[in-house]
Amino acid sequence: MKKIKKGIPLIDQHNKNGFWGKFGGNFIPETLKKPVEDLTILFKKLRNDKKFIQERDYYFENWVGAPTSFIKLENLTNYLNGAQIWTKVVSEANGGAHKIYNATVHSLIAKRAGKKYIVGDTGAGYAGKMLSMAAKKFGLKCKIFMGAKDIKRQKPNCDAMRANGAEIVPVYTGSQTLVDAVSECMRYWVSNCDTTHMCVGSTVGPNIFVKICGWSTSQISKELFIQMQEEFGKIPKKLILINCVGGGSSSFGFWNEFMHYDKKQVMFIGVEAGGPKKSKRHAAPLTYGSKIGILHGAAQYVNQNTEGQIEETESISAGLDYPGVSPLHCFLKDAKRAKYTAASDEEALSAYQLVTKLENLNPSLEPSHAFAEAIKIAPKLSKDTIICVNSCGDALKDRDILRQKLGKYK
């Protein structure tokens, strides 16, 4: 079993070929070797460049809106009558989700690299929306690849992308969801890597994209770490950080600052998308023991058949509807630092209903999966246990699905 090293960020705990244990690496066509290497060198330079860090922090504070608030959900806590339920309202960030951190950093890098064009993938549409916002802000031309099925089910975010002047390229292959969007985006980059910067929307893809994304979303736990100390005077003795896991960028960012704590003190629970109760399909490779395979340039646990064909997924949540998962999470699972479980479509929906009934909060279907787990375990836990859920997205984008499933939206 691989151990997590202390004193080194997890994103840097890979070998020279880019592997965290058995996971990650760079399974890429020859054409992308050079652009990936260039990006790797540039990122290494920039993360040690004071001016770049200042710039990032400036935009995080003044444009993204850092810090997002950390609040107690009193009514939900009382209702569940067990552990205290807190939440970090990351959906307050400009644009309505954590995807803004990665999008901002990638756009700043693209500027430094002298690129005029930026492309990205999106599932829920948040990664696309945020990239379109950042591209507009920093004067880059933007193209977003999105599965045709997702374009239909996440219309509000598509409207936002178009309003920001981005072009949405619909992807009709395969299941017409996130996995196909990422593939098509990578193919586009193969053909245009000389002029175009690529942003991968989560902690997936070739090694460097995992690193940049994880580095960017870590802003969430940096804020939380300070907020917890302000609130409790210290890091609580029994803390559980619950986050949904699609590609794994919000969860990694939510946990990173707490990585070195003993898991008995700070426990991480990642909640994957279990799909409809009645369906065999799911988007939970960690929970259901999928085998290691290669997807989008990296080795990871991934839903696939015995031949190595990637399997179609099913989830009510477009953001979690992905057959693979970040190599960082595969590593955290194997190192037993984090636990992974799944919530079904139905569980996520009822969690959404309960949270919105009791609280002034409107978590999208992705974090509703995380709330489902919190609701499940809180009643069994002591009152001095602090559960914190990352409410990493706003449900406005899910308006149509929620209306259809619940008969109303808000």
Ligand X SMILES: Cc1ncc(COP(=O)(O)O)c(C=O)c1O
Residues forming the site for ligand X (CB under 6 A): 97, 99, 123-124, 126-127, 202, 244-251, 319-320, 364, 366, 392-393
Q: In the set 279, 308, 380, 404, which binds other proteins (CB under 8 A)? A: 308
Q: Which does 230 bind (CB under 5 to 8 A by kind): ligand X, other proteins, none?
A: none
Distance, CA of 175 to CA of 147 (rounded, Å): 8
If the CB atoms of residues 8 and 41 are measured against other proteins, the closer one turns out to be 41
Q: Which does 390 bind (CB under 5 to 8 A by kind): ligand X, other proteins, none?
A: none
Least distance CB 118 / other proteins (angstroms): 17
Distance, CA of 73 to CA of 41 (rounded, Å): 43
If the CB atoms of residues 303 and 341 are measured against other proteins, the closer one turns out to be 303
Q: Which does 193 bind (CB under 5 to 8 A by kind): other proteins, ligand X, none?
A: other proteins
Taking CB under 8 A as the rule, does residue 15 contact other proteins? no
Taking CB under 8 A as the rule, does residue 34 contact other proteins? yes
Least distance CB 141 / other proteins (angstroms): 18
| Whole-Å CA distances, 227 to 62, 136, 176, 287 | 19, 31, 40, 31
Least distance CB 326 / ligand X (angstroms): 7
Query: Left, alpha or beta for 165 (phi > 0: left; psi -120 to 50: alpha)?
Result: left
Distance, CA of 198 to CA of 196 (rounded, Å): 6
Least distance CB 244 / ligand X (angstroms): 5
CA 47, 51, 55, 58: dihedral to nearest 10 degrees? Answer: 110
269, 329 Cβ separation under 8 angstroms: no
From 87, 111, 127, select the one nearest 249 (Cα to Cα). 127
Residues 145-174 that bind other proteins (CB under 8 A): 173-174
Least distance CB 33 / other proteins (angstroms): 5
Taking CB under 8 A as the rule, does residue 262 contact other proteins? no
The length of the chain in residues reads: 410
| Whole-Å CA distances, 286 to 117, 310, 406 | 35, 15, 29
| Whole-Å CA distances, 347 to 6, 253, 313, 374, 375 | 36, 24, 17, 11, 10
Q: Please name every residue paired with 387 in a beta bridge, in sequence order, or none if there are none.
A: 85, 240
Taking CB under 8 A as the rule, does residue 294 contact other proteins? yes
Taking CB under 8 A as the rule, does residue 39 contact other proteins? no
Q: In the set 11, 28, 208, 283, which binds other proteins (CB under 8 A)? A: 28
| Residue closest to ligand X when measured from CB atoms | 393
Taking CB under 8 A as the rule, does residue 194 contact other proteins? yes
If the CB atoms of residues 193 and 355 are measured against ligand X, the closer one turns out to be 355
Q: Which does 124 bind (CB under 5 to 8 A by kind): other proteins, ligand X, none?
A: ligand X
Distance, CA of 106 to CA of 211 (rounded, Å): 11
- Residue 241, classed as helix, strand or coil, is strand
Residues in contact with other proteins by CB under 8 A are 17, 25-35, 173-174, 179, 183, 186-187, 190-194, 291-297, 304, 306-310
